[in-house]
Amino acid sequence: MSRVAYVDGRYVPHGRATTHIEDRGYQFADGIYEVIAVSGGRLVDDEGHLVRLHRSLSELRIEWRMSDRALLAVLRELVRRNGVSEGSVYLQISRGVARRDHPFPKASRPVLVATAKRMDFAGVAERQSKGVAVITTPDIRWGRCDIKTVALLPNVLAKQAAREQGAYEAWLVDEEGRVTEGSSTNAWIVDQDGNLITRKADNSILNGITRIAVLGQAAERQIRVIERPFTVAEAKAAREAFITSTTSFVMPVTSIDGAKIGDGKPGKVASALIGAYRDHMAA
């Protein structure tokens, strides 16, 4: 089955999907995006993603007029046309096409593009069973990481550094030596007292939709959660560590900068939350 994309009102063959050269998303990273998991052919946590989508649009003052109902219809049709049972949907909204100039154009129409792709969830489960390696790198991003913009070059550089060092993810570290989040994930540790620690959702991190779900699942299991920054040293001394995201779900971290975390295997808290999140996706 050939892939199909959605570009500014039309479903088109993926290989011929194009946008205008003066689209502000291309020239200025003046746009926002979301990635939504697909499980059993259904969108996962679509309501939470739409809430965050509208927040990002509002923060960038992009005037978006398409209804949520219409947008969801487009995304579900993309899932159907691409035959995606397990995978993800990517959608991006830019401020639109205008003559290149830094200020907002007086008249522009936002442009929506969206794609859907299949994923190997079995591969994710295999990594979950073993855990993954993480490196740390300075956080060089801008001061509004809570907005899910397409300006991801610092994240790309961090992820590439992780790949070059044989790691799965890079944790970004602020000037005070505290972990903010991963290049495309949220970061968590379990301290020696069994407390689950993750940074509070402020301007320094993106409030992940999977993060929100996991917070709820931890509360249901009476796991004490402390939302505060933690240092790299704390992370390396932790009993457990893991990351969360739309496409990594709950992923145990078994080493940081080469230092083994706990006994070097996925811990009890992470394993319990993996199961809880699988149930959440199925529901």
CA distances from 145 to 29, 149, 170 (A): 14, 8, 16
CATH code at position 55: 3.30.470.10
Secondary structure letter of residue 224 according to DSSP: -
| 165 and 198 both lie in a single domain | yes
Shared domain check, 227 and 130: yes
Where among 73, 95, 119 does a domain terminate?
A: 119
Active site residues: 148
Q: What separation in angstroms does the CA of 192 have from each of 48, 111, 147, 225, 267?
A: 32, 49, 33, 13, 12
Q: What pLDDT is attached to residue 2?
A: 86
Q: Strands of the chain (E only): list them.
A: 4-7, 10-13, 31-39, 42-43, 87-94, 111-118, 132-138, 169-173, 178-182, 186-190, 196-198, 225-227, 230-231, 240-245, 249-256, 259-260
Please give the pLDDT value at position 128. Answer: 98
The pLDDT of residue 114 is above 80: yes
Domain, as residue range, for 182: 124-282
Confidence of residue 129 (pLDDT cuts 50, 70, 90): very high
- 146 and 197 assigned to the same domain: yes
Q: Which of 90, 119, 148 is the last residue of a domain?
A: 119
Distance CA 86, CA 92 (A): 20
- Taking the whole predicted model, whether its pTM rises above 0.85 is answered as yes
pLDDT in tens, 93-109: 999 999 999 999 998 99
Two structure tokens written together for 47: 């309501």
Residues 168 and 205 in one domain: yes
Based on the domain organization, do 141 and 94 belong to the same domain? no
Q: Tell me what pLDDT residue 275 has.
A: 97
Chain mean pLDDT for the chain = 97
Q: Is-contact 204 228, C-beta < 8 A? A: no
Q: For residue range 40-85, what is the model confidence (pLDDT) as tens digits?
A: 999 999 999 999 999 999 999 999 999 999 999 999 999 999 999 9
Residue 17 is classified by DSSP as -
Q: Are residues 104 and 143 in the same domain?
A: no
Structure tokens at 120: 């190997």
> Do 115 and 128 lie in a common domain?
no
The fraction of the chain above a pLDDT of 70, given in percent, is 100
Report, as an integer, the average pLDDT of 239-247. Answer: 98
| Overall number of domains in the chain | 2
